[in-house]
Structure 1
Amino acid sequence: MTASDFKAWAKAVLARLAVRLRPHLRPRTLLLLPALFVLYVLVLIPFTPGIRDIRRAKVDRPAQIYSADGKLLAEFKPTHREWVSLKEISPQVVDALIATEDRRFYQHHGIDFKRTASAALHTLKGDKQGGSTLTQQLARNLYPEEIGRSQTVTRKLKEAITAFKIEALYSKDEILETYLNTVPFLYNAYGIEMAARTYFDKSAGQLDVLQSATLIGMLKGNSYYNPVINPERALDRRNIVLGQMVKFGHLPAAKLDALEKRPLRIDFERQTEEPGRAPHFAQQLRKWLIGWADDNDYNIYSDGLIVRTTIDSRLQTMATNSLAWQGNQLQSIANAAWGGRGGCANADANLAHAFIRETGDYRAARDGGMNDADAIKKLGADRAFMQTLCENKTRVQAAFVALDPRNGQIKAWVGSRDFTQDPFDHVAQARRQPGSTFKPFVYGAAFEHGAKPTDTFIDQAVEIPVKGAETWRPTDDSPPSGRPVSLRDGIAYSKNRITAQLMESVGPGRVARLARDMGVRESHLDVVPSLALGTSPVTLKEMVSSYGTIANDGSYMEPLLVTRIENKEGEVLAQFESAPERALSVDATRTLVDVMRDVINRGTGTAIRTRFNIRADVAGKTGTTQDNADGWFILMHPQLVAGAWVGFNDSRVTLRSDYWGQGAHSALPIIGDFMQRSLRSRLIDANARFDTQETPSLWHTMVTRVRTWFAQTFTKEPKPTATKQTSAQKPVRVKRAPAEPVAEVTEAPEAPGAQPQPPLFTTMPPILPSPADDTASDAPASQTQQ
C-alpha cells in the first residue's frame, strides 16, 4: 500500500468511526480522540524519511569523476553549493537566523509547542503565522517529496516526526550547519557560502551584520525580498531582522538607528561552476551515470561514487589546445568573409532577414502588432542587436573525439570551442553530413565482395536514376578524363564519379548495412545512391567509432566512457569493457587500411606528412560537404583514432572559401597538431604498425629508385659468381624496418616459371595531383537532380 492509498484508507476509517460515535459521545468517550491521534502518528512514522536517509542528506557526497591517469575531471553536485563548517560562517549570520526564525532553538527538541500554539491562535484570528522551527524547515527542505507540500495535517505531522528524528540524531550545531548549507538563495545558489559570494562577493565567514541580516531576511520569501530586483523590500526586511536581533539580545540597541540608515550595497555576480577538463564528456557521462545509478539503487549526488573514466587528461588537454588554436585561425577568416568581427555586412539581404525572423525579438515585435517589414527594419537598424545576432551566427564551431580502437575507450572529447559559450555537444548531439569521410564504407563493402584495389572504373560523366523521374549526377572538381582510375586512386584522390560507380556496383543496401555494423548505429541512413558521398547526417562520435572498427581489423568495439565504478571506500561496484563484434572481414579491412594510407601518403590528406611531419603508420580520410558547409577529417593510428569536424551551428553560414572550406584545410590541422603532440609526448607509439603490409607512397618509391640507381652507378662491387637458379629460390621482398621512416623495396630474381609480380600501385595519368601537392580537393559532388 502506498502512502496516498494509506491516507485515503485512514481518512475513510476515521470518517466512519466519527459517524458511529457521534450519537454516543460523552465526556469520557472524548478520551478516545487523543488515543486515535497517537495511533495515527505512530502509523505515519514508517512513511517519513528514515535515519539512513537523513545521514545521506546531511553528508553531501557527490560522485567524483576521474580520468584514466588519475586526474579529477568533475564532481556531480545536485546544485551549485559548497559546504562550509559552522566555524567558517560568520557568528552574526547565526544570530540573525535564530533571532528571526527560531528564537527558542536551543530549548526545544524539534518542535516549539509554545510557538506552534501561538501561531495556531493567530491563524484562527485571521493573522496567518508560521510556527515551524529551524529543524522542521530543514526537514521540509531536505525531503519535500517524502513529507509533501500540501497544507494538510498529515504533512505537518510528517514534518514534526522527521524533525524529532533529526534532533535525536544531530547536535544543535550540526543542525544549524546543515540548514545553512542547504537553504536556497535564488540564482542557483544553495547554502550560505554561495549566497555570500553571489550577493556580496565574499565568503560566508566575512559577512558583516548588515549583510547577514539581508541574506537571512530573504528566507521569508526569496523572490519577494530579492535584493537585486526588489531592493526596497529587501532593505525593509533587513531592518526587521536587525530589530529582531536587538529584541533578543544579539545586537546593542544603540546601534540600531545607525544601521537601519545604511544602504544595501549589493555586489551581485552569478556564480558559475568551472567547466573542468572535459565538460562535454562529463555532460554525456552524467546522463549515463544517472541511468546506471537508478538501475542499481545508488544516488550520484550523495553516495560518494568514484567513477574511473577512459579519458586521458593529457590527450584531452592536447585536443582542447589543438581545437582552440585552429578555431581561432578559422574565426579570423570567417570574420573577414562576413564583414568584420561580429558583422553581417557581406550577408545576402534575404539571408540576413531570415536570421532576424528566427529571433525572439522579431517574434515579440510581431506579437506587439508590427508587420514583417517594420519589424525587419526596426531590428536591422539596431546595431547592438545585429552585432550579437551576427556574432552568434558566424561563430566558427568545431568538435573533436579520439578513441583507442583496440578496446573502444574514448581518450579525448571536445564538444565545441568554448563550453561556457556553446554547451551544445557537436560530438554526440550534432548530426551533420559527413561528405567523403563516408566513402570508406563503399570501398569496404566492395572489398568484402571481391573487389581489388587495382580494379578500375572509367572517369566519365555519371547519371544514376533514382526514384521517380530524378537523376543523380555526381561531379568532381575537374571534368571527366575518360581514362581508367583504380579504386586505390579513387579513394586517395576522393573521386566522386568513381565512388558513385562503385556504389552502383555494390548497392546502397550493402553500404548502409556495413555502416551500421561498423558504428553508425544511432543516425538514420537513407538507402540511396547519394549515400556514397555522405548525404545522410551522422554524428562525429559515430564516424570515429566506425573508423575505429577499420583500425581494429574489422571488429567493432562499442565506445566506452567508464572502466570502473567504486564506492567511497574504494570497493569495486562494477567494471565495464566492450566486446568485439565482427563487422568486416580481416582481409577486406586490411585492404581498406592499405588504400586509405594513400590518402595520407599522396592524396587529399598529405598535409599530415608535409605540414605536420608525421611519419607514423597512419591512414585516414578527408571530407567536405555541399557548399563547404562542413569540414571533416579522421585519422587512424593502430593505437588511436581521432576525428574532427568544423563548421557553423547554422549550415547556411560557411567560411565562403573553396580552400578553407575543405576538410583538408579546416579539420585536418586540428588532427595534425593533436597527433604531432601525442607522438612527441610518446603517449602513442610512433613505431606501431597496422597488421598489414604497408604500400609505399609514390614519393617513397621514387626515393628508392634514386638510391638504387646511385648505388648501381657509383658503387663498385665484385661480380658475383654465376649460379644456377633452382626452383627452391623464391622472390624476396624486403619490408621496411619498424624504426625506418623511409621504405626501401628490393626484389630478388624470380624463380623460373614464376608469375610476374604486380606493381605495388599503378602510376596514374597526369590528370591526378602530384605526390607533393597537399591541396588535392575532396569537394563534394553536385547534388543537382533533374
Structure 2
Amino acid sequence: MAQKNNTTTVKDIKYYKKKFWKLFFYSSGAAVLFFLLASWGFFGKMPSFEDLENPESNLATEIISSDGVTIGKFYNENRTPIKFEDLPPHLVKALVATEDERFYEHSGIDARRTFGAALKLGADGGASTISQQLAKQLFHGEGSSFKLFRIIQKVKEWIIAIKLERQYTKNEIIAMYFNVYDFNNYAIGIRSASKTYFSKEPKDLTIDESAILVGMFKNSSLYNPVRNPQGVKNRRNVVLSQMLRSKIITQSQKESLSNLPIKLDFKLQTHKEGIATYFREYLREYMKKWVKENKKPDGEDYDIYTDGLKIYTTIDSKMQEHAEEAVQAHMKNLQQEFFIQQKDNKNAPFINITDAETNRIMTNAMKNSERWRVMKELDKSEEEIIASFDVKTKMKIFSWKGEIDTLMTPKDSIRYYKHFLQAGLMSLEPQTGHIKAWVGGIDYKYFQYDHVGQGARQVGSTFKPFVYATAIEQLGMSPCDSIIDSPFMIHKGRHHVTADWEPKNSDRQYRGMVTLKRALALSINTVSAKLIDKTGPEAVVSLTKKLGVNSEIPVQPSIALGAVEITVEDMVAAYSTFANQGVYVKPQFISRIEDKNGVVLYEPVPDSRDVLNKDIAYAVVKLLEGVTESGSGVRLRTEGGGSGDNRWTGYPYGFTNPIAGKTGTSQNQSDGWFIGMVPNLVTGVWVGCEDRSARFKSITYGQGATAALPVWGYFMKKCYEDKDLLVSKDPFERPSDLSIKVDCWEAKKVIDTTIVAPEEELQNEEEFGL
C-alpha cells in the first residue's frame, strides 16, 4: 500500500512538473510574442529609430538680449532645451535619489522595483524608471484608465525605455527628461520652470529650489508652488530626505533646508508678461514676415512657435529694466495728478470737444473692441452689440495699484481706460544703430498699442533741430550767429501757404537779438519760422527724410513748430545722426538668428549713409546742449531741494556731464516729448493719452519738460548707477578741424546769468516722487 502511494506521489509530481513547464513555456512564449507584437506596432504605432533620434516636441523660439538674458519666447509649448552640463549636479542627484535610485545600474527597467511592485499589485506605484517615464512623456502621454490598455502601455514603455537606453547615454536621458516635463504655469522643461518659479537659470538653483522642482515630478498639478505651498514644502522635504539617504547632503543640511519657507520669484513666461513685452510683439510681427522670405533648406517655412529658433537681439536686459522702471515710476505719479484735474470735468477725460465728437470717439472704440469683433462673428445685429455695451458685467480692470475686480459696463470701461496717460520710450546706440531699450506703453496686458514703432504723434518743438540743421547747412549759419526775435509773418502765396501765417511765441514775449543757441534753448517760435522761411520748407523736409523719418511731412512753413506726426523710433534715429557725426544708421534690433542646432540663419548688414558733414552735426549737438544748460531741460542739472529764488528745485537728477536734448509739446499739450543724447546713447520719450482730446487742462503738467523729461532723467540716472552699462559721461567728440563757430562765450554768459522763460513753464516736480 505504501509502495502504491509512493508511486502515485511520483506520478503526481511528474504530472505537475510537466504542467508547470508547459505553463512556463506557453507563458514565456506568450510574453515574448506580446512584447514582439507591441514592438512591431500591433497595439499601436511605436517610435522608429529616427523618432528616437528626433523625438517630436514643440521647441520655443528664444529671444535673447545682447547681454545673454532670455527676455521672452514665442511658443505653443514653453519649452527651451538645456544640455546636461548646464544642469547643477545637486539637481541631477536629487532627481535620481527621488525617482530612480538605481538609474545608473539598470538598462531601462529596474527588475527589483518592478518585481516588488508586482507583488504589491502596484499599491506603491508603478516602479517606473526615469527612462520609462521619459518614454511615456515623449511618445504616448498619460495613457488609458482601462486595465488591458494600461498593461499594453506599460509594455510599450519598457520597450521604448530599452531603446532609449541603447540609443542615448545616461546623461542624455536625464537631460531629455528634464527638458520634456510639464511643470505647469506654461513652463515645460526645467529651464522654463526655473525661470518661471525662481526667475533664474537652472545652474543658479539652490539645493532647496532644486528639491522643489524635483518634487513636482510626482504630480506638478498637485505640487504647484503657487497654489499649494504647504504641500510643496512637505514634498520638498521628502526629496531632501531622499538626498540624505543617498548621502548627497548631510543631516545638518537636511534639517536646515527643511525649515526654510517656500520662497518664489514667480514670473509667468507668457506673451503678455515679463520684460520688453511691446518689443517682443514688434519682433513677432517682424518674424512673421522674415519666415516668409527666409525658407528652410527643404523650402518649407520656419515656425517661430515650434522650431526652437534663437533670436539674438540688440536689447540690453538691464537697460530695458531701467527703462520700464522709469516709465512706471513717473507715469504712476503723473496719472494721479491727471485724475485730480479730471474730477470736475463732466466729460472726463475729454476737454473742449462736443458731444458729437465724444460719441464718435466712443463708437470707434466700441467698434475696435474684441467684444464687437466676437459678437459680429456670432451674427449679432449692430443694435444688439451696442446694447451689450450698456450691460454691467464682472471684469478685471487695470489700475496703478494692481488689478481690480469690479462690476462695470463695457462702455464705462472704455471711458475709464481713455483716462490713462500712455508713454513710449526708445533708446539707441548711435554708432551701431542698435536699439537697447523699447517701452511701447504702460502695461501690455491692458494697453497693446505700441507707442514706439506703431503710433506716430505730433512732435512739437522736437522738430526744430531739423530746421536749425538745414539753416546751418544751407545758409552757412552757426550756433553763435544772431537773429532778431520779433513779430513775423509769412504772407499768403509764399511757400504755398494759403493764408497769412504769423506764429507767436508761447510766452508772447520778444527778446530782440538772440543767438541761434539761445533761440533753440528757449524754443523761440519766431526764430524757427524765420529760418524755415529762408531755407524753404522743401529743404527741411528733404533733410528730415534723409534722417530716416518715414512719416508724411507737409511741405509748408508750419512744420517749423512741429505740426508733424512722427514715431518715437524715427525721431530717436534722426537725432542719433547728430550724435554720430552726421552718419545715419538705420535702427537694428536683431544681431543674428540661429536654428535649434546653432546654425546661423541670418545676420543683418548695417544700413548707414552720410547725411550731414561732421561739423554741421556737431554744431547741432552744441545747439541742443544749450537746452539742458539754460532752457527747458535745465532741470536735469539740479538735484535735491533748493533755497531762495532758485525756481528749479526738487529735481533728483543732478547731471553734470554734457547732455544734448530737446523738449516738445504739441498743440493743447496733447503730446509731451523729450529726446536726450549723450555720446553713446540717444533716448526719446513721448507721453500723452490715446486720444488727443484727453489731456491736461494746462501746460503745467502737459508740457514735455514735465510729462516726458522726468522719464528720461530717471532712466539715465539708473543707467549711470549701473556700472556694467558703460553709458558715457564724456563730451561729444569735437571734429579736429571744426570750421563752424560753436563756442558762444558772450551769449553763454548772458544765458547763464539770466532767469529765462523757456518754451514750457518750468514746474517743481517734487510731488512726483522723482
**Which TM-score applies when normalising by structure 1?**
0.59
Structure 2 CA distance, aligned partners of 1:281 and 1:425?
Answer: 9
Residue 465 of structure 1, CA deviation: 2.8
Matched residue, 1:643:
684
Aligned partner (choices 511, 521, 543) of residue 514 of structure 1: 543
Structure 1 CA distance, aligned partners of 2:693 and 2:148?
Answer: 59
1:540 and 2:568 aligned: yes
Structure 2: segments with no counterpart, 5+ residues:
1-47, 83-129, 158-166, 197-214, 223-267, 297-301, 393-406, 639-650, 763-770
Structure 2 CA distance, aligned partners of 1:57 and 1:528?
Answer: 63
Aligned partner (choices 754, 757, 760) of residue 777 of structure 1: 760
Structure 2 CA distance, aligned partners of 1:339 and 1:204?
Answer: 54
Matched residue, 1:500:
529
Matched residue, 1:319:
323
Corresponding letter in the other structure for 1:446: A
Question: CA distance change for structure 1 residues 343 and 188 in 2, over 3 Å: closer, same or farther?
Answer: farther
Corresponding letter in the other structure for 1:616: N
Matched residue, 2:492:
465
Matched residue, 2:284:
286
Residue 533 of structure 1, CA deviation: 1.9
Corresponding letter in the other structure for 2:142: V
Corresponding letter in the other structure for 2:531: L
Structure 1 CA distance, aligned partners of 2:702 and 2:607?
Answer: 38
Matched residue, 2:718:
677
Deviations 1:342-386 (A, max 9, x none): 99388665555444434268999998697999999999xx96445
Question: CA distance change for structure 1 residues 688 and 471 in 2, over 3 Å: closer, same or farther?
Answer: same
Residue 303 of structure 1, CA deviation: 4.0
Matched residue, 2:67:
69
Asked whether the equivalents of residues 483 and 515 of structure 2 are also in contact (C-alpha less than 8 Å), the reply is: yes
Structure 2 CA distance, aligned partners of 1:362 and 1:576?
Answer: 41
Structure 2 CA distance, aligned partners of 1:436 and 1:492?
Answer: 11
Between 1:325-334 and 1:558-567, the stretch displaced more is: 558-567
Matched residue, 1:411:
436
Structure 2 CA distance, aligned partners of 1:375 and 1:304?
Answer: 43
Residue 679 of structure 1, CA deviation: 1.7
Structure 1 CA distance, aligned partners of 2:497 and 2:426?
Answer: 40
Corresponding letter in the other structure for 2:721: R
1:452 and 2:478 aligned: yes
Matched residue, 1:627:
668
Structure 1: segments with no counterpart, 5+ residues:
1-49, 110-168, 210-269, 695-732, 736-744, 746-757, 780-786
Corresponding letter in the other structure for 1:628: Q
Deviations 1:550-592 (A, max 9, x none): 1000000111112233444445444335243101111111111
Matched residue, 2:747:
761
Corresponding letter in the other structure for 1:641: V
Corresponding letter in the other structure for 2:425: F
Aligned partner (choices 44, 58, 61) of residue 60 of structure 1: 58
Deviations 1:500-528 (A, max 9, x none): 111111111111111111121x3222222
Residue 416 of structure 1, CA deviation: 0.8
Corresponding letter in the other structure for 2:66: A
Residue 473 of structure 1, CA deviation: 3.0
- Match of 1:515, SS? helix
Residue 108 of structure 1, CA deviation: 11
Matched residue, 1:400:
425
Matched residue, 1:333:
337
Asked whether the equivalents of residues 665 and 671 of structure 2 are also in contact (C-alpha less than 8 Å), the reply is: yes
Structure 1 CA distance, aligned partners of 2:310 and 2:391?
Answer: 54
Question: CA distance change for structure 1 residues 641 and 87 in 2, over 3 Å: closer, same or farther?
Answer: same
- Match of 1:656, SS? coil
- Match of 1:426, SS? coil
- Match of 1:677, SS? helix
Residue 285 of structure 1, CA deviation: 2.1
Mapping 1:1-20, distance limit 5 Å: none
Deviations 1:405-454 (A, max 9, x none): 11111111111111212122111001111111111111111111212221
Give the share of equivalent positions with the same residue, in percent.
28
Asked whether the equivalents of residues 460 and 480 of structure 1 are also in contact (C-alpha less than 8 Å), the reply is: no
Question: CA distance change for structure 1 residues 53 and 589 in 2, over 3 Å: closer, same or farther?
Answer: farther
Structure 2 CA distance, aligned partners of 1:604 and 1:334?
Answer: 21
Corresponding letter in the other structure for 1:576: P
Structure 1 CA distance, aligned partners of 2:74 and 2:314?
Answer: 17
Structure 1 CA distance, aligned partners of 2:68 and 2:81?
Answer: 24
Question: CA distance change for structure 1 residues 573 and 400 in 2, over 3 Å: closer, same or farther?
Answer: same
Residue 105 of structure 1, CA deviation: 7.0
Aligned partner (choices 87, 91, 96) of residue 144 of structure 2: 96
Corresponding letter in the other structure for 2:566: V
Asked whether the equivalents of residues 519 and 549 of structure 1 are also in contact (C-alpha less than 8 Å), the reply is: no
Asked whether the equivalents of residues 312 and 593 of structure 2 are also in contact (C-alpha less than 8 Å), the reply is: yes
Asked whether the equivalents of residues 318 and 677 of structure 1 are also in contact (C-alpha less than 8 Å), the reply is: yes
Structure 2 CA distance, aligned partners of 1:190 and 1:693?
Answer: 55
Structure 1 CA distance, aligned partners of 2:470 and 2:349?
Answer: 47
Corresponding letter in the other structure for 1:460: P
Asked whether the equivalents of residues 306 and 567 of structure 1 are also in contact (C-alpha less than 8 Å), the reply is: yes
Mapping 1:562-581, distance limit 5 Å: 562-581=590-609
Matched residue, 1:591:
619
- Match of 1:636, SS? strand
Residue 276 of structure 1, CA deviation: 2.6
Residue correspondences, number: 546
Structure 2 CA distance, aligned partners of 1:484 and 1:600?
Answer: 21
Superposition CA RMSD, Å: 5.2
Asked whether the equivalents of residues 485 and 498 of structure 1 are also in contact (C-alpha less than 8 Å), the reply is: no
Deviations 1:296-336 (A, max 9, x none): 42543444333322111111111110110011011101211
Question: CA distance change for structure 1 residues 53 and 473 in 2, over 3 Å: closer, same or farther?
Answer: farther
Matched residue, 1:484:
513
Structure 2 CA distance, aligned partners of 1:774 and 1:470?
Answer: 30
Deviations 1:579-617 (A, max 9, x none): 431011111111111111101100111111123111111
Aligned partner (choices 670, 686, 702) of residue 661 of structure 1: 702
Question: CA distance change for structure 1 residues 372 and 351 in 2, over 3 Å: closer, same or farther?
Answer: farther
Question: CA distance change for structure 1 residues 480 and 461 in 2, over 3 Å: closer, same or farther?
Answer: farther
Matched residue, 2:468:
443
Corresponding letter in the other structure for 1:448: E
Matched residue, 2:247:
none
Corresponding letter in the other structure for 1:324: Q
1:526 and 2:524 aligned: no
Structure 2 CA distance, aligned partners of 1:305 and 1:373?
Answer: 44
- Match of 2:563, SS? coil
Structure 1 CA distance, aligned partners of 2:269 and 2:599?
Answer: 35
Corresponding letter in the other structure for 2:133: K
Matched residue, 1:754:
none
Asked whether the equivalents of residues 427 and 681 of structure 2 are also in contact (C-alpha less than 8 Å), the reply is: yes
Corresponding letter in the other structure for 1:326: H
Question: CA distance change for structure 1 residues 93 and 687 in 2, over 3 Å: closer, same or farther?
Answer: closer
Residue 76 of structure 1, CA deviation: 2.0
Corresponding letter in the other structure for 1:451: M
- Match of 1:474, SS? coil
Between 1:449-458 and 1:270-279, the stretch displaced more is: 270-279
- Match of 1:465, SS? coil
Question: CA distance change for structure 1 residues 189 and 59 in 2, over 3 Å: closer, same or farther?
Answer: closer
Corresponding letter in the other structure for 1:329: N
